[in-house]
Amino acid sequence: MYATTKVSTKYQVVIPKEIRNVTKGVIPGATVKIMSISPSDIQISLSPKGSTWADKARGAAKGVYEKEYLENLRNEWQIRNKALNKK
C-alpha cells in the first residue's frame, strides 16, 4: 500500500490515515527512521520502541542515589547559580 502526502512549509509530513490504519506502531510520539535512497527517493520506517540508546539507558541509574541526596545537590546548584547571576 502507498499513499501521497504533502510536505508543509515547516518540512513536516502527515502520515495518511490509510497508512496509520494498517500499520502497527504508528502512534503520536513514535520514532521513525527516514533514509535517503537516492536524490529523489526516501524511505520511512518505524523504529521499534526502546531501540535508541537513550531508551535502553533510561532508568539504568534508578535508585543509585537517595532522594534526599539529590534534593540537597539540586538546592546547592540553585544557590550557586543565584550567586553567579548576581556577579
Residue 1 belongs to some domain of the structure = no
Residue 78 belongs to some domain of the structure = yes
Residue 4 belongs to some domain of the structure = no
Residue 6 belongs to some domain of the structure = no
pLDDT of residue 28: 84
pLDDT of residue 2: 85
pLDDT of residue 55: 73
Residue 12 belongs to some domain of the structure = no
Residue 80 belongs to some domain of the structure = yes
Q: Which residues face 45 on adjacent strands?
A: 33
- Print pLDDT tens along the chain (87 aa): 889 999 999 999 999 999 888 888 788 888 888 999 999 999 988 876 666 777 778 788 888 888 899 999 999 999 999 988 886
Which grid cell is 81? 547559580
This prediction has a pTM of 0.48
Which structural domain range is residue 81 located in? 17-53+62-86
Residue 5 belongs to some domain of the structure = no
Number of domains in the chain: 1
Residue 7 belongs to some domain of the structure = no
